[in-house]
Amino acid sequence: MRLSNSEPLSDEQLMLNYGQGDAAAFEQLYQKHKGGVYRYFLRHCSRADVAEELHHDIWMKLINARETYQPTAKFTTWLYTLAHNHLVNYYRKNNKAQLLDFDDVAEPEDELPELDKQLTHSRQAADLISQVESLPAQQKEVFLLRHEAGFSLEEIANLTKSSFEATKSRLRYAMAKLKKGVSYEQ
């Protein structure tokens, strides 16, 4: 199957086509996923230059792996697994591996404010990004994979090699902290 077909191709098919020499297939993949991957790194590192370096590394890995790619899983799972592993290595190189430790404290649910109304204000939304960047690394990881890449909790658990329950807890803690953080900004 080639790109001349009007039917949109899956990410997996695009990657296979790129492996067979179709450079336009890679460009489609890149345009579709570049934002999510870049912001995944940017939120973790909070530095555009580092995020660009990591982003570049990941896409180069993908280019180099074009011939060996097998669609045994979703393309995005493969892409973000590469990104996750690269981030772990980045933390190790910079002696920040402890950031991946799970150091959450549970937030009581009954203290949650009415954020669906609060977040209509632009300043609060802008503050939300800084709140995300200040999350503990593992909570941030789960949050970003959920809201940047669109993975389900089960997919996130598989990707990060964590249990489903632990993943679910991390996301819950992350959301709780974000809600609390934004409410304090009012």
Partner 1 sequence: MSNKSNIHDDAIGQAYQQQSNELPSSALDQQILAASRKAVAAKPTPVGKTRSWRNMPFIPAIAASFFVVAVFWAQQEPDNETRMPQAEVAPMSISAPALLKSAAPQMAAQSEPEVAMLADMATPETLSPLQGVITQRAQAWWLITQEQEVLIHTPPSNIADFAQQPVTVQGVLSQRNGVTELTIKDIKLD
Listed in sequence order, the DSSP H helices in the chain are 11-19, 23-45, 48-64, 75-93, 115-118, 122-133, 137-147, 153-160, 164-185
Written as six digits, the tokens of 35 are 């934002």
The answer to whether 109 contacts partner 1 (rule: CB under 8 A) is yes
The answer to whether 126 contacts partner 1 (rule: CB under 8 A) is yes
The answer to whether 59 contacts partner 1 (rule: CB under 8 A) is yes
Q: Which is nearer to partner 1, 22 or 97 (CB)?
A: 22
**Single residue of 3, 9, 13, 30 touching partner 1 by CB under 8 A:** 30
Reduced 3-state DSSP string for 58-101: HHHHHHHCCCCCCCCCCHHHHHHHHHHHHHHHHHHHCCCHHHHC
Site string for partner 1, 65-84 (x = CB under 8 A): -xx-----------------
Which positions touch partner 1 (CB under 8 A)?
18-23, 26-27, 30, 34-35, 38-39, 42-43, 48, 51-52, 55-56, 59-60, 63-64, 66-67, 109, 112, 114-116, 119, 124-126, 128-129, 132, 146-148, 172, 175, 178-179, 182
